[in-house]
Chains A and B, each alone.
Chain A
Amino acid sequence: MRFETAAAPHVIAGFTVPRVMFQVLLALLPVSVAHVLVFGPGLLLQLAIACPTALACEAVALRWRGHAAGSFLRDGSVLVTAALLALCVTPLLPWWLTAAGVAAAVLLGKHAFGGLGQNAFNPAMVGYAALLVSCPAEMTRWPLPLVDGAHSWGDLATLTVHSFYAGTSAIVPPWDAYTGATALDSLRTGLGQRYTMGEILAQPQFGALGGAGFQWINVAALLGGAFLLARGIVRWHIPVAFLAGLLLPAAVAHGLDPGANAGPLFHAFSGATMLGACFIATDPVSAATSDRGRVVYGFCIGLLVFLIRRWGVYPDGVAFAVLLMNAAVPLIDRYTVPRIHGHPRH
């Protein structure tokens, strides 16, 4: 009797790239819910423009590059990029800016380098950085979180829709009533104006853990990260090293001069800390290769976030920290090659 032959191995596990990407999207669910509860429906609008734009850009780029679009479009990686970018930008961002950011992420960040698996930089952060340096005013206009009953969800929804369709509506939204500096912003300006930490932290933008509203988003992101860890999609090296790189210097600085430095708890639960630690820095394509390399990589991102928050001109620094360390990956990889079994220890 004759049989078909094939190369070994004859069994493989059920992991696939689409499944990995789907689990990442699933893990983004808690943080998305928290985002909508805290900042209104803006995220949903952002997702509604980001995801189709991303898919369209992916299809166009694949066509340009002469690939069959089918399987690559279904791999879900471009949706992860779109969702991360939508979560990072302000929910008030006009739709065309979001679309431009996503286009930059997918076309410039991903396909210019050769598509899935080839991008040296985190595509979502390429899109974010492109938007931040192009339109700093729009990018930093955050709604006040819905925490103290300062305004209603309905008002915020109206404002968000106005802002999202910016330019098509004659009504000038009453920005001052609904938007304001984020906690990280207030910290920066407060310290710049020589307020004490106590005075700064008494402002409504600050919550028990970190920034008001932002703290819940961070908690939710941490939950999603725990899910990814438990499922083995993400391993501990990057998130733990990221948090160590951010929180250890923050703790030291706070210990040395508590009046001028926010504590590690504040850093942990403000801005994009947990989203960065669990979802952004952990993008495997643009991260360092070996476990040891990933520890170095994560730690340096955390450290850069601390440095940018403390001394940089931007209130939060996750995007730039990630992009800078993406650029350093070849260097890290060169010095962190693991020892092969049977090779001498150095």
Chain B
Amino acid sequence: MASASAFPAGLRLPAHKSEALAPAIAIAPAPSQAIVSLDQGSGRAALPCVEAGERVRVGTAIGIDPETRNRVLHAPVAGVIRAVEPRVSATGTGHGLCVVIDNDGTGDRDPALEPIDDAERMPAPQWIECLANSGVVGLGGAAFPTAVKLAAALAREATHLVLNGAECEPWICCDDALMRARAPRILLGARLLLRASGAGHCTIAVEDDKPEAIAALKAAFSSQPDERITIRAVPAVYPAGAERQLLTTITGIEVPSGSVPSQSGLLCQNVGTAAAVADFAVTGEPCIRRIVTINGSGVVRPGNLDALIGTPIAELMAHCGGYRGTPERLIAGGPLTGRALPDDGIGLTKAMNCLVAASTLDLAPRGAEMPCIRCGNCANVCPAGLLPQQLQRSAQAGELEQAGAWGLLDCIECACCDYVCPSRIPLTQRFCEAKSALAAREERLRRAGDARWRFERHQARLQADAEAERRAFDEARRRARNDGAS
């Protein structure tokens, strides 16, 4: 096992993981009613392909991709569709279309689901096609469709697959639990991902504060050795698991700004995603469950649950002994990048790696914002090498052009700068807003450009028509004159 090069910046944070890691992964009971959001966290909502009153079985497709028409969302329980309606959700504006399924308790499996025994020998495009209908997405939190990433990697002849088991953010430990308990599945997933992407090497990157996970992976590896796969420890520094930063740590290659990893011949997948790919091949069951960490001092028994997508968060919390006191905030994800949820009736999504019931003990009151004193702490910890103090000045002044020059779009929103800012400036929030403003402006410019193009074409057409008419008139007159003369 090679040791990774030192991470250039970032934070060493208290992990808060040991308590949730103490019990083994528990299987959460199926909910009596599953609430499956059509946007599972990627920001791209699926189209519902079922209607209220329809009966579905476990694994029946309920949502398709609006463009590719691939089956990307599947019923986690068997039963009757109660409604397809907008509900409070964990994505976008906070409301989104959800498929609500009343569980009939039969657990009937869709008969079409069959294991894919020859996945390791299947041609890559065909295997990707299978995965495109499996609903497997990036389970690290981004929920980006795995098949799309694999297809891009295959098309660009990626050579190196990195499996991300860094899991650097505090509280979150679902990947650690998974690596400890199901390492052989991860290795199978690695081989299947190598098959699909055409890459020749795979590095499984695990933070060096997870010795049990590394030991479990090594044990699984020694029983089924594969010279293409290496296991590597990376320093436990937040955000070691950020995609671009991890790829640099492992390969030394910096993915150029504005391009995606596959353009550099790299592919990064979460270890949970690898296990989901393997599960799909072995059982034929699409991605309808994930491991989620339930953590925080606002829950009685922190732990990791293997739960069905769509299970209401309240039921997951109840399975962990319920709330301790009244938690202040419910966070989907970690404390630095997680999203505070307004309601625990929201169903589990594929993007939720962790749910923190945070009491006041876990939260830091922000206090009033003060002016920036240019101390430079933010630049000191920024893993993207930005100068957040300069960036925020431009962002706050609305100088989007200048903010872009300071690397606004290179900000990975890890919130390290926020964490260390003595002036309590909500830097990440400000950068997100500036990014939205920049995107909106570009959209406006694009529309304005389109409109101008249409206008100019219209003008040209009018002019051409007028010209043609005039010419026809001239021609007619000339002919009339000639006729008169003859």
Contacts and interface: CB of A to CB of B under 8 A. Distances in A.
A235 B380 contact: yes
Interface stretch (B25-33, B158-166, B250-258, B276-284): B250-258
Contacts of B314: 1
How many of chain B's residues touch chain A, expressed as a range? 35 or more
A9 B335 contact: yes
Interface centre among A8, A294, A340, A342 (most CB of B within 10 A): A8
Contacts of B248: 341
B109 interface: no
Contact of B374 (A2, A75, A289, A343): A289
A9 B418 contact: yes
A118 interface: yes
Contact of A1 (B328, B340, B343, B380): B343
B472 to A, nearest CB: 59
Given A1-B343, A1-B344, A8-B336, A342 B418 contact: no
Contact of B410 (A4, A6, A285, A341): A341
A96 B308 CA distance: 76
Contacts of A75: 370
Given A9-B415, A11-B362, A11-B419, A340 B340 contact: no
Nearest to A338: B385
Contact of A71 (B341, B368, B386): B368
A10 B389 CA distance: 20
Of listed B328, B371, B415, B423, residue having the most chain A CB within 10 A: B371
B327 interface: yes
Nearest to A12: B364
Contact of B340 (A4, A20, A290, A342): A4
B174 interface: no
A7 B373 contact: no
Contacts of B204: none
Nearest to A6: B340
Contacts of A118: 371
Report whether over half of chain B's contact residues are helix, strand or loop; otherwise say mixed. Answer: loop
A287 B374 contact: yes
Contact of B390 (A6, A8, A289): A289
A296 B166 CA distance: 37
Interface in B255-297: 255-258
Contact of B338 (A3, A10, A339): A10
Contacts of A294: 376
A135 interface: no
A225 B358 CA distance: 39
Contact of A115 (B244, B254, B371, B428): B371
B421 A4 contact: no
Interface string A257-296: 0000000000000000000000000001101011100100
A340 B410 contact: yes
B141 to A, nearest CB: 12
A40 B372 CA distance: 38
Interface string A117-128: 110000000000
Contact of B341 (A3, A287, A291): A3
A2 B342 contact: yes
A242 to B, nearest CB: 16
B468 interface: no
Interface string B328-369: 111101011111111111000000000010100011101110
Contacts of A3: 327-330, 340-344
* Residue among A6, A19, A77, A344 with max Cβ neighbours from chain B (10 Å): A6
B374 A8 contact: no
Contacts of B366: 12
Contacts of B331: 10
A17 B384 contact: no
A338 B329 contact: no
Contact of A342 (B257, B330, B337): B257
Contacts of B50: none
Interface in A1-55: 1-17, 19-20
Contacts of A16: 367, 370, 422-424
Contact of A11 (B339, B363, B389): B363
A340 B385 contact: yes
For A77, A117, A290, the residue with the greatest tally of chain B CB atoms inside 10 Å of its CB is A117
B374 A342 contact: no
Contact of B421 (A15, A285, A343): A15
A115 B389 CA distance: 17
B426 interface: yes
Given A5-B341, A9-B415, A20-B422, A340 B386 contact: yes
B130 interface: no
B477 to A, nearest CB: 66
Given A9-B428, A13-B419, A235-B380, A20 B335 contact: no
Interface in A228-262: 235
7 contacts: A3-B344, A4-B340, A8-B336, A10-B335, A20-B373, A284-B375, A344-B256
Given A9-B419, A20-B422, 12 more contacts: A5-B329, A5-B342, A10-B335, A117-B370, A117-B371, A289-B374, A338-B385, A341-B244, A341-B248, A341-B257, A341-B410, A343-B257
